[in-house]
Amino acid sequence: MEGQTVKAILFDLDNTLIETSRAGAVAIQKTRELLKSSLGLDDDTVSGLCDKFKLKLSQESFDPSAGRSIDEVRTGHWEESLQDAVGSRSTPSLAAQCYFLWKSSRLELLNLSPEICSLLKELRRTHKLLLLTNGEAQTQREKVEATGCEEFFDAVVVGGEHAEQKPFLSIFTLCFRMLQVEAQDCVMVGDSLDTDIKGGVLAGVRATVWISSEGGADDGAVKADFTIPTVLELPHILQQLK
């Protein structure tokens, strides 16, 4: 598709436009401090407990039809982690404290940097912009609201609100339809090879741009057309695609 004009850009959210991993690490540290002061636990026990929560979070499979909210499910992650670590010293109220401290702390730290805000404003002068984020609907909508990022986009698509998420073709087709463009008119930008880049490749976009902010290696399973360390370098890629 060399020479094809880029009309639209699809952006991932987490760890592409906002530093979710960094915010999560700070939120965990605040929760560690709560656990140490509440239960008098040593560092190793607290670390193990928080690691269990993070593992449950990473392996989470949320089913909205099961009758529990995402807040209830994630409070349950803390309850189970606490029970494993301290047994009868664990209480549901402490688990709820841990969860809501972690959640609120993470949301407070999520923001679009002034540089990224400027980038999006500039790009929107010449391109249609769409935010395409995977994840449970309430959680991702809370991030969108906390960061105030909706104003920078022509549309926002949250994977958890649809039958399939990235990398499935159906959600990309929805995005193209919303923007009234063809796949070949679009660039997909994101930090995940497995969802953002693979999805863009399967959908047939003009180009995929991998944000490798942690210096991660391309494992060869999926190849991005371009790799940059920060989304702020995207204009250089777009210049090459003209």
Say what the pTM is.
Answer: 0.94
Confidence class of residue 213 from pLDDT cuts 50, 70 and 90?
Answer: confident
Kindly report the CATH number that applies to the domain delimited by 8-19+110-241. 3.40.50.1000
Summarize the confidence of residues 125-138 as an average pLDDT: 98
Q: Give 72-97 pLDDT, tens digit per residue.
A: 999 999 999 999 999 988 888 999 99
Tokens of 27: 């939120």
Q: Residue 89's pLDDT is what?
A: 84
User: What homologous superfamily is domain 21-109 in, according to CATH?
Assistant: Haloacid dehalogenase hydrolase-like domain (1.20.120.710)
Confidence class of residue 218 from pLDDT cuts 50, 70 and 90?
Answer: low
Confidence class of residue 1 from pLDDT cuts 50, 70 and 90?
Answer: very low
Q: Residue 229's pLDDT is what?
A: 96
Q: Residue 106's pLDDT is what?
A: 98
Q: Give 14-58 pLDDT, tens digit per residue.
A: 999 999 999 999 999 999 999 999 999 999 999 999 999 999 999
Q: How far is it between the farthest Cα atoms of the chain?
A: 65
Domain boundaries, the chain: 8-19+110-241, 21-109
CB 134 within 8 A of CB 165: yes
Is the model's pLDDT at 61 over the cut of 70? yes
